[in-house]
Amino acid sequence: MPVEVRLPTLLRSQAGGAATISADGVTVGDVFRTLIAEHPGLADSLIDETGQLHRFVNVYRNDDDIRYLDQLDTKLADRDVISILPAVAGG
C-alpha cells in the first residue's frame, strides 16, 4: 500500500534530493527495502549490520516512534506517513 516517506535534510542527497518519496510496503521494513533498492546510499543510514533499525535514526509511523511499536515489522495502512529523523544526541 502506498505511503509517504519524509526524509530529513541530511539524507536527501542520498535520495536524489527528494524531501518526500512515495513507496509501497506492508511494513516499515518492506518500505525500507524498496527505498534502499532505489537509493542504495540510504542503506547505511537506516539499517545496521544486524539488519535492525540503526540506533542513530528515529522512524515514525505518523506520530508514533516505531521503536515503541513493532520496529521494522510495524504494519502500515494506506496513506500512512513515515518520517525519518536523525537521532539528536551527545554527551
Residue closer to other proteins (CB basis): 51 or 90: 90
Min dist CB 52 to other proteins, Å, is 16
Are the beta carbons of 34 and 15 closer than 8 angstroms?
A: no
89 touching other proteins, by CB under 8 A:
yes
Q: Of 43-72, which residues contact other proteins (CB under 8 A)? A: 56, 58, 60, 63, 65, 67
52, β-bridge pairs: none
What one-letter code names the amino acid at 16?
G
32 touching other proteins, by CB under 8 A:
no
3-state SS of 21-57?
A: EEEECCEHHHHHHHHHHHCHHHHHHHECCCCCECCCE
Stretch that binds other proteins, among 22-30, 33-41, 72-80, 83-91 (CB under 8 A): 83-91
86 touching other proteins, by CB under 8 A:
yes
Are the beta carbons of 38 and 22 closer than 8 angstroms?
A: no
Residue with cell 542504495: 40
- Footprint of other proteins on this chain (CB under 8 A)? 8-10, 56, 58, 60, 63, 65, 67, 83, 85-91
